[in-house]
A and B are shown apart, each in its own frame.
Chain A
């Protein structure tokens, strides 16, 4: 995963300005901010509201309505585990208990060393090859707890290089 930039209101204003010409610009802006900073800082709310001529409540409502947007920085890696039915049929529930046990965190939480944040998702479209996961946007099929450990170690190496 690309390293995120530290929050900067100036940089945020620039990103917002790039998107204001779009019809329904709110979601594209929030995605762009999160991609840059890793989360949507509270300081962005009035900036977006001003730029789009909307109320702060509307922007805040949007950020909290959608599962994707977070208001605080996450761990270095984002692990999305599929909790939906086709993966359940391949034993995902038991697997997730094991994974969360190894990582020592719960859903929506970040590991103590800050290496990973675990989010539940409901289907990744890999349903014939479950259990499935998305690690920093990269799909993983036939997931096992060992495979996840390995993938995290590998992405760690790649980030260091």
Chain B
């Protein structure tokens, strides 16, 4: 009898040796005369347990991890093929508390299925959302998205239904659906995980959007830092065309949707939607002034729906289960679930999909288990490089767009980066400016010049040169950048800077103490 083993091909698992583990498992099984099939899956997002190997048993799947090549022989001898006992045995993966306590509406297939198999996707509930959508008219689909309360998951939190409606109502011969998969925010990997682990969820979400808006062409603009996701998406799209879920006459509906993946080229700014469209058109990724909004004049001047990966991937579930079921999750005006990405100096990092409203402290302590270094948490950056640094006493803030904004922070793409007490917040503030200087598109002055002046001024602060006067200067500069920049790059760089200065003032006056301390 053939045994099925599951070994992830997610980039994290690969980075921890999953390919070698898969080869060793295959060779080891062969030597023992075991007939095994190895299915390469995505990751379930329990990243401290990767590579996590699973085996199909009559009682369901049994997981082992983290598995090293050197563990393979012992595991096979312990009867891994039948779910045998071993120190690395984790049992049923779905009962691991980190996973069991989540609300996985969008990530439920990730790490479970063969990501490039349409058949496997359908066997696990795939394409029920599109089927439901095809039974509705365009207005009905848009109404479902609107009533679900879904907001753009890229960072700005703009209501998705309004965007969809605008593109639907626009008159044009050619409309486009574009996925912003330029997941450039540090500390985030939900898009990557989804594209590597369940790409058809994204493809289905985009197809529903195409049907709703009347678009027949679509692009996934993917950052080049994700070569594994690129390969997986290309394979998935080709298989989708072969299976009749993409291309002409999707699912026999008479509707066409042609989808292509395009690779970015290492520019953070291309995560900004107008800059992304410029880049997709083959130009430098320079931010466009709005209006006109992309929903009316987007790619090649045509009406274009631009949404983030996490926005599109929420849609199939919403269409399948109904807007109300989705809106039952969450709090206030932040409805549904948020795929939280817990990263940095944390013991149990990974993907945590939960209804909006969980506090930062719960995520870090209950799920993360504290820092990997074992030292106390000192600062937490939420929402990527343009997000605020929070001190420990703000960790009771719930993850909700409005609650975070009230504390001068943002949810962004849902990334949480934990720092222990060795962090120097003055250097983190300097880095925020440095990053902006490197990645600014250069179109507007506050961002282009401001970032460079910010680095210089922070250098003076760090060196202890008139720290009070120079910090005042940084504050002024931040005000100009916030008010005067064309897009979020320059407009939000002040957020990490000012939050660091506000919450960790002692780090900005250290150099001034040095002579005294040296005495």
A and B assemble together: yes
Q: Would you call A25 and B282 a contact (CB within 8 A)?
A: yes
B185 on the A face (CB < 8 A)? yes
Q: Would you call A123 and B185 a contact (CB within 8 A)?
A: yes
Say whether, besides A66-B266, A90-B372, A125 and B188 are in contact (CB < 8 Å): yes
The CA-CA distance from A89 to B421 in the complex, in Å, is 10
Within 8 A of A (CB), among B377-421: 381, 385, 415, 417-420
- List, in ascending order, chain A residues with CB within 8 A of B94's CB: none
- List, in ascending order, chain A residues with CB within 8 A of B227's CB: 134, 137
- List, in ascending order, chain A residues with CB within 8 A of B439's CB: 122
The CA-CA distance from A104 to B283 in the complex, in Å, is 36
Within 8 A of A (CB), among B270-329: 279-285, 299-300
A12 on the B face (CB < 8 A)? no
Q: Would you call A68 and B266 a contact (CB within 8 A)?
A: yes
Say whether, besides A89-B417, A139-B11, A66 and B267 are in contact (CB < 8 Å): yes
The CA-CA distance from A88 to B423 in the complex, in Å, is 9
**Of A88, A89, A90, A142, the contact of B16 (CB 8 Å cutoff):** A142
**Of B15, B186, B300, B372, the contact of A140 (CB 8 Å cutoff):** B15
B342 on the A face (CB < 8 A)? yes
Residue in B closest to A138 when the chains form the complex, CB atoms: B14
The CA-CA distance from A31 to B227 in the complex, in Å, is 12
B263 on the A face (CB < 8 A)? yes
Shortest CB-to-CB span from B303 to chain A, Å, is: 15
A6 on the B face (CB < 8 A)? no
A14 on the B face (CB < 8 A)? no
**Of B267, B280, B419, the contact of A67 (CB 8 Å cutoff):** B267
- List, in ascending order, chain B residues with CB within 8 A of A61's CB: 283-284
**Of B185, B192, B285, B419, the contact of A89 (CB 8 Å cutoff):** B419
- List, in ascending order, chain B residues with CB within 8 A of A84's CB: 186-187, 385, 435
Say whether, besides A27-B279, A62-B284, A84-B187, A127 and B417 are in contact (CB < 8 Å): yes
- List, in ascending order, chain B residues with CB within 8 A of A25's CB: 282
Query: What total of chain B residues lie within 8 Å of the partner, measured CB to CB?
Result: 62
- List, in ascending order, chain B residues with CB within 8 A of A129's CB: 12, 15-16, 47-48, 50, 349
Say whether, besides A26-B283, A128-B349, A85 and B15 are in contact (CB < 8 Å): no
- List, in ascending order, chain B residues with CB within 8 A of A54's CB: 282
Q: Would you call B15 and A126 a contact (CB within 8 A)?
A: yes
The CA-CA distance from A51 to B329 in the complex, in Å, is 52
The count of A-to-B residue pairs whose CB atoms sit within 8 angstroms is 162
Residue in A closest to B231 when the chains form the complex, CB atoms: A137
- List, in ascending order, chain B residues with CB within 8 A of A122's CB: 184, 186, 268, 385, 435, 438-439
Say whether, besides A52-B282, A62-B284, A125 and B385 are in contact (CB < 8 Å): no
- List, in ascending order, chain A residues with CB within 8 A of B507's CB: none
What mask results when residues 48 to 88 of chain A are scored 1 for a CB within 8 Å of chain B, else 0?
A: 00001010001001100111110000000000100011111
- List, in ascending order, chain A residues with CB within 8 A of B285's CB: 65-66
Residue in B closest to A82 when the chains form the complex, CB atoms: B186
Shortest CB-to-CB span from A148 to chain B, Å, is: 13
- List, in ascending order, chain B residues with CB within 8 A of A33's CB: none
- List, in ascending order, chain A residues with CB within 8 A of B264's CB: 27, 66
Within 8 A of A (CB), among B140-191: 183-189, 191
Q: Would you call A24 and B385 a contact (CB within 8 A)?
A: no
The CA-CA distance from A130 to B187 in the complex, in Å, is 10
Say whether, besides A89-B419, A124-B225, A139-B12, A66 and B265 are in contact (CB < 8 Å): yes
- List, in ascending order, chain A residues with CB within 8 A of B48's CB: 128-129
A152 on the B face (CB < 8 A)? no
- List, in ascending order, chain B residues with CB within 8 A of A44's CB: none
Say whether, besides A27-B279, A141-B16, A65 and B372 are in contact (CB < 8 Å): no
B262 on the A face (CB < 8 A)? yes
- Could you tell me which B residues sit within 8 Å of A by CB distance? 11-12, 14-16, 47-48, 50, 183-189, 191-193, 224-228, 262-268, 279-285, 299-300, 341-346, 349-350, 372, 381, 385, 415, 417-420, 423, 428, 431, 435, 438-439, 441
Beyond A84-B435, A128-B350, 16 extra complex contacts between A and B, CB < 8 Å: A23-B281, A24-B280, A27-B265, A67-B265, A85-B381, A85-B428, A85-B431, A86-B343, A89-B343, A89-B417, A121-B225, A123-B225, A125-B11, A128-B341, A139-B12, A139-B14
Which are the 3 A-B pairs with shortest beta-carbon distances?
Answer: A128-B349, A26-B282, A84-B186
Selected A-B contacts with CB under 8 Å, 28 pairs: A23-B281, A24-B281, A31-B224, A67-B265, A67-B267, A68-B266, A69-B265, A80-B225, A84-B187, A85-B381, A86-B344, A86-B417, A89-B417, A90-B345, A123-B186, A124-B11, A125-B226, A126-B11, A127-B186, A127-B188, A127-B341, A128-B346, A129-B47, A130-B343, A138-B14, A138-B15, A141-B12, A142-B16
